[in-house]
Chain A
C-alpha cells in the first residue's frame, strides 16, 4: 500500500483511461447540469427533467461506445496508478448494468413527468438526488476495491434516504425515510467495521488480492480465521442490507410504502440489482481465487439466506392491503430468487458461475420491466384517485382504464413467472443455472424457488381479480399518454422477450463472460510488490501451479475481456 501512495505523486491518468470512464464523467456532468442549470434558466419541472434526459442520453452514448472498445483501446481498470487493483473497473458486466440503469432511469423520469411533474416544486433537487444515487449504484458494480465499494454504497444510499422522504408534507414519507436511514446507517457502520478488520489483516483494499490470500487463512482455522470470517461477514451484511435479504429486510416495506411511487420503482430495482451484482462480483472473485474448498460453507449460507428471503417475502405479501407494500414484499422475494444464483459461484467449476451471472443479468433486465410496469400503473392510478393504492382501488380497472389494466396483468403474471411472459424465461435461466450446478444443495433451491412461484400466485392474483372480475362502479379516468405508453411498452416487451428470448440470453451470456478478473500472474506480481513493503502476516499462499490452472481454465472458456 505504501508503494501505491508513493506512486501517486507521479501519476496522472492518460486520455485512454479517461475515455474508459467517460460514462461516469458524463453522469457526473449530468448531475452538475441538473443542479446548476436552474440558477440560469429557472426552476421549471419539465425543463429540469428534459435536461436530465439529455444528460442521460449522452451518458448512454458513452456507455455504448465504451462497450464497443476492446482491451487494446483502453485499460479495463483505472483511475488509480495501480493497474491491477484499480479503483474502478470497466468490464462489460458493469457497462451493461450501467446501460440498464440508464434505460431504467429514463423510464422513471418519464413516469415522474406524467404523475408528479406538475405539483413538484423542487424538481432540480429531486433529480440531483435521483441521478446521484444512480451514479452511486453504477459505481457499486464497477469496483472490487473495498474502499471504493463503501464510498459507492454510501453514494447510492445517502440520496436514497433523502428521496424516500422527499415528500416533505407527508408524515409517512418522513417516517419511511428515517427508518431507512437508521437501518442504513447501522448496516454501513457494521460494514465499515468489517472492512477495518479485513484491511487490518491483509493490508490491502483490493479484493482480488485479498481473495487470493484468504484461502489458506480460512482453511487454517484459529483466531485468524475467526477474525477474517467476521470481517467478511460484516461486509456481506452491508451488501445484504442493500439487497434487502432476510433478516436485513425490515426497512424495505416501510420505505417502499412511504416513498413516492416513482421513488419506490427506482429503489425496488436499481438499488437491489446494484447490491446483487456487487455481491456476485465479490463472491465470484473469492470463489475463483480462494478456491471452493475454503468457500464451501459460504454456498450453504447464501443458499439458506436466499431460500428464507424468497419464502418470507412471498408469505409476508399475502395479507397486505396496500399494493405498493405488497410489491415491496414481492421485491424481497425476487431478491431471494436472484440471490440463489450467487450460491452457485462457490461451486468449483467456472462454467456454473458463468450461467448464474448470465441468469441474473437477464433477470435484472426483465425484473426492471416488470417493476417499472407494475409500479408505473400504481403511480398513474394514485395520481388520479388521491393517492389510494389499496387493493380496492384497482376494482374494475379494465373498464375504467384498460390501458392500465392490461399491462398490469402482464407485469403481475410475469412476476409470478408464467408463460407467455418473460418472467418465466428468466426464472428458467435461473433454474437452469441451479440445475447445471447439479448438487443436492442446488436442487433443493430449485424446489424452493419453484414452490415459491405457487405461493406467490395467490397475492398477485388478488390484484388481477379486482381489476378484471370485480367492479364497484368507481369512475373511469383518463391517463396521460406518456405514462400509458410507458407501462404498455413494458407489458409488450415482456411478451416480446418471452418469444424472442434468444437475444436476451446471448447478450447476457456475452456480458457475463466478459467479467474483468485479474489473472493469476498479475496477482502474483501484485503480491510480490506487496510483500516487499508490507510486513503483514499472510499465512501460506496458494500454490503457483494451482493459480496457473485457474488461469488456464479461464482462457479455455474464451475470456475475451480480461
Chain B
C-alpha cells in the first residue's frame, strides 16, 4: 500500500463512485462521503514525508523533491513510451491536499441533494463528482505530460454534466461555454504535447553530450514526456531556448510557452478568456462552485509553475510584460466587475478573477518571492473562495434568491452564520492576520524585487502600484457587500431564517479555522512545504535564462 499510496488516493474516489452506482439510493451519499473522507485521510499520510522541508532531493539535481513516486510504462509505441509516472513535490503537495480537503467539504455540502430544485439522478451526481475528484488529483500528481493531459481532459465531462444537469436556469449555456472554452485551451496544449515530445527528441539528437538524464544518469536517446526531464535536461533546455529553433517558422520557446499558457490561462482564468467563469459559477450548484473555485482554478496556476516556466523559461521572459499587463487588468477589471454586481454569487466569481490576477502577476516576474506569493495566494484562495461560495449557498437555500440589494441584517437573524461570513469575506479581502493577506503581500514584494533586481523588468514598479490599488478595490466591494447583506436592520422577510445547521457549521468551521491558521502561521503551514521546490525551480529558470542571454549576446 505504501508504495502505491498516490495511486490509491487518486483512484479511491473513482472506486467509491463506481460503488455508489450500485448501492441503494439512500446510501449513495454516505458511500461518497466515505470515499472522499478516506481520500482526505490518506492524503494526510502523504504529508508526513514532507516534515522538515521538501528540498532534500531524491533525484539529486532535479528540481524539487519527488516523494511517493510511482513509475510504470503505460503505452509503448515504436517511437514513444508513455509512462504512468506520478509523484508529489513541494509544488503539488499543497494543492493535492487542498483538493482532497475541498472535495470532502463539497461532498458534505451536497448532502441536501434531495432538497435541490433538480434532485433526480443522485447516483449519477455522486459518480460524476467523485470522477471529477479523481481527475483533479490526477492532474496534480502526474509528472508525465501525456498522463497530465489525460487527467486534465478527464475532468471535462463530469464538470460539464455537473453544471449542465444540476445547475440553474441557464445551465445549458453555462455548461457548453465551460466545455468549449476549456477544450479550446486543451487543443493548444495538445499541439504543445506533440511538438514538445518530438522537439525533445530533436534536442537529444542535437546535443547528445548534454543529454544526461536526471533519472538514469545515462544520456537520453529519444524524446520524452517526463516533465522533470523536460525542464532539467541540459540538451532539451539548450535546444528549446535556442532562438534558432522554430516550429512552422515561429520561435519555439515563445510559441510553445504561449500555447501552454492559453490552455492554463483559460482555466485560471485571466482577463480576455475569463467570461466562462461567472456564467459557470452562477449556474453551478453550490458544491460544484466550491470545487470550481477551490480547485479547478488552481490548475491554471499549477500549470504555469509546472510546465510553462520550468520548461520554457525564455518564453516566460519573452512574454513577461504582456503577462503583467494581463494580470493587472485581471486584478483591476475583476475587482471593478465584482463591485458592479448585484448577484451575490457573480460577485464572488468576479472576485476570483481578481484574486487569480495576483497569481499570474506573482509568477510572471519569475522571482522566488513572487512564486511563493503566487502559490500561497492559490492555497489561500482555495480555502477562502469555497467558503464564500458555500456562504452564498447557505443563504440561497433559505432565501431562494441571490440579489444583494434585497438582503440586509442577516447577522442579527443568523449570528453564527454571520460571524462565519464576516470571517470568510475578510479572508478573501486580504485582512492582515487572515490567509488572503500573505499571498498578496508576497506577490507585491516579489514584483518590487524584480524591479529592484535590474533593468529586466522596467515596468515592475508600475505593475506593483496598479496591483496594490486592486487591494483597495477589493476592500471596497467586500465591505460594501458585508454592509448590504449582513449589517443593518433585520428585514421582516428574513427574520425567521433558521441558524446555520450543524452540517453547515461542519463545513464552515474548518475553512474558517484554516483562514486564520494560514494567516497567522504561513511559514509552518504552507511555506515550509513548498519553498524548497519553488526556489529550485526559480534557480533552474534563472540558470537557463542566463545561458540563453549569454548565447544571444555572444
A502 to B202, CA, bound (A): 25
Contact of B172 among A358, A432, A451, A469 (CB under 8 A): A469
Can you list, as one digit per residue, whether each of A430-460 has a CB less than 8 Å from chain B (1) or not (0)? 0110111010100110110011011001100
A318 within 8 A of B: no
User: How many of chain A's residues have a CB under 8 angstroms from any CB in B?
Assistant: 39
B79 within 8 A of A: yes
A447 to B197, CA, bound (A): 15
Contact of B153 among A424, A450, A454 (CB under 8 A): A424
Check A454 against B191 for contact (C-beta < 8 Å).
no
Closest CB in chain A relative to B411 CB, distance in Å: 39
From A451, which residue of chain B is reached at the shortest CB distance? B187
The DSSP consensus for interface residues of chain B is helix
Known contacts A419-B154, A438-B198; is-contact A446 B191 (Cβ 8 Å)? yes
Closest CB in chain B relative to A145 CB, distance in Å: 30
Known contacts A447-B191, A501-B75; is-contact A436 B172 (Cβ 8 Å)? no
Closest CB in chain B relative to A264 CB, distance in Å: 27
Check B156 against A458 for contact (C-beta < 8 Å).
no
Which residues of chain B come closer than 8 Å to A468, judged between CB atoms? 161, 164-165
Which residues of chain B come closer than 8 Å to A431, judged between CB atoms? 190, 194
Can you list, as one digit per residue, whether each of B239-258 has a CB less than 8 Å from chain A (1) or not (0)? 00000000111000000000
Known contacts A446-B194, A454-B184, A468-B164; is-contact A419 B78 (Cβ 8 Å)? no
Q: How large is the interface on B (under 10, 10 to 19, 20 to 34, 35 or more residues)?
A: 35 or more
Check A443 against B248 for contact (C-beta < 8 Å).
yes
Tell me the B215-239 residues at the A interface (CB within 8 Å): none
From A432, which residue of chain B is reached at the shortest CB distance? B80
Contact of A444 among B175, B179, B248 (CB under 8 A): B248
B456 within 8 A of A: no
Check A355 against B171 for contact (C-beta < 8 Å).
no
Contact of B154 among A420, A443, A461 (CB under 8 A): A420
Contact of B78 among A351, A443, A457, A502 (CB under 8 A): A351
A8 to B304, CA, bound (A): 71
Which residues of chain B come closer than 8 Å to A354, judged between CB atoms? 78
Check A432 against B194 for contact (C-beta < 8 Å).
yes
B549 within 8 A of A: no
A505 to B190, CA, bound (A): 20
From A447, which residue of chain B is reached at the shortest CB distance? B191
A509 within 8 A of B: yes
Check B156 against A418 for contact (C-beta < 8 Å).
yes
Closest CB in chain A relative to B117 CB, distance in Å: 15
A150 to B156, CA, bound (A): 46
Closest CB in chain A relative to B17 CB, distance in Å: 13
B195 within 8 A of A: yes
Contact of B77 among A420, A438, A509 (CB under 8 A): A509
A429 to B80, CA, bound (A): 10
Closest CB in chain A relative to B264 CB, distance in Å: 17
The DSSP consensus for interface residues of chain A is helix
A441 to B312, CA, bound (A): 24
Contact of B187 among A419, A420, A454, A506 (CB under 8 A): A454
Can you list, as one digit per residue, whether each of B248-274 has a CB less than 8 Å from chain A (1) or not (0)? 110000000000000000000000000
A413 within 8 A of B: yes
A548 to B9, CA, bound (A): 57
Which residues of chain A come closer than 8 Å to B74, judged between CB atoms? 501-502
Closest CB in chain A relative to B197 CB, distance in Å: 7
Check B157 against A432 for contact (C-beta < 8 Å).
no
A35 within 8 A of B: no
Check B75 against A450 for contact (C-beta < 8 Å).
no
Known contacts A351-B79, A413-B157, A432-B194; is-contact A469 B165 (Cβ 8 Å)? yes
A106 to B183, CA, bound (A): 36
A433 to B480, CA, bound (A): 58
A465 within 8 A of B: yes
B76 within 8 A of A: yes
Check B75 against A505 for contact (C-beta < 8 Å).
yes
Which residues of chain B come closer than 8 Å to A429, judged between CB atoms? 77
Check B79 against A436 for contact (C-beta < 8 Å).
yes
A419 to B171, CA, bound (A): 23
Closest CB in chain B relative to A549 CB, distance in Å: 21
Check A435 against B198 for contact (C-beta < 8 Å).
yes
Which residues of chain A come closer than 8 Å to B78, judged between CB atoms? 351, 354-355, 358, 509
Which residues of chain B come closer than 8 Å to A434, judged between CB atoms? 194
A281 to B149, CA, bound (A): 33
Tell me the A346-405 residues at the B interface (CB within 8 Å): 351, 354-355, 358
Check A457 against B183 for contact (C-beta < 8 Å).
yes
Can you list, as one digit per residue, whether each of A412-429 has a CB less than 8 Å from chain B (1) or not (0)? 010000111000110011
A130 to B180, CA, bound (A): 40
Closest CB in chain A relative to B75 CB, distance in Å: 5
From A471, which residue of chain B is reached at the shortest CB distance? B120
Check B187 against A453 for contact (C-beta < 8 Å).
yes
Check A465 against B191 for contact (C-beta < 8 Å).
no
A457 to B202, CA, bound (A): 33
A404 to B191, CA, bound (A): 34
Tell me the A89-140 residues at the B interface (CB within 8 Å): none
Closest CB in chain A relative to B139 CB, distance in Å: 12
A436 to B198, CA, bound (A): 7
Q: Which of B165, B171, B190 has most chain A Cβ within 10 Å?
A: B190
Contact of A469 among B153, B175, B249 (CB under 8 A): B175
A2 to B146, CA, bound (A): 57
Closest CB in chain B relative to A517 CB, distance in Å: 18
Closest CB in chain B relative to A437 CB, distance in Å: 9
From A462, which residue of chain B is reached at the shortest CB distance? B176
Which residues of chain A come closer than 8 Å to B194, judged between CB atoms? 431-432, 434-435, 446
Which residues of chain B come closer than 8 Å to A470, judged between CB atoms? 172
Contact of B164 among A419, A424, A469 (CB under 8 A): A469
Contact of B183 among A418, A435, A506 (CB under 8 A): A418
Q: Which of B149, B171, B194 has most chain A Cβ within 10 Å?
A: B194
Which residues of chain A come closer than 8 Å to B191, judged between CB atoms? 446-447, 450
Check A432 against B77 for contact (C-beta < 8 Å).
yes
Can you list, as one digit per residue, whether each of B180-203 has a CB less than 8 Å from chain A (1) or not (0)? 100110010011001101100010
User: Hey, which bits of chain A sit against chain B, CB under 8 A?
Assistant: 351, 354-355, 358, 413, 418-420, 424-425, 428-429, 431-432, 434-436, 438, 440, 443-444, 446-447, 450-451, 453-454, 457-458, 461, 465, 468-470, 501-502, 505-506, 509
25 A-B interface contacts by CB (under 8 A): A355-B78, A358-B77, A413-B157, A419-B150, A420-B150, A432-B77, A432-B197, A438-B198, A443-B248, A446-B191, A447-B191, A450-B190, A454-B183, A457-B183, A458-B180, A461-B179, A465-B176, A468-B164, A468-B165, A469-B165, A470-B172, A502-B74, A505-B75, A506-B76, A509-B78
> Besides the contacts A435-B197, A469-B172, what 10 more A-B pairs have beta carbons closer than 8 Å?
A418-B183, A440-B248, A440-B249, A446-B195, A450-B190, A454-B180, A454-B187, A457-B179, A458-B180, A469-B165
Closest 7 CB pairs of A and B: A435-B194, A435-B198, A419-B153, A419-B150, A450-B187, A431-B194, A454-B187
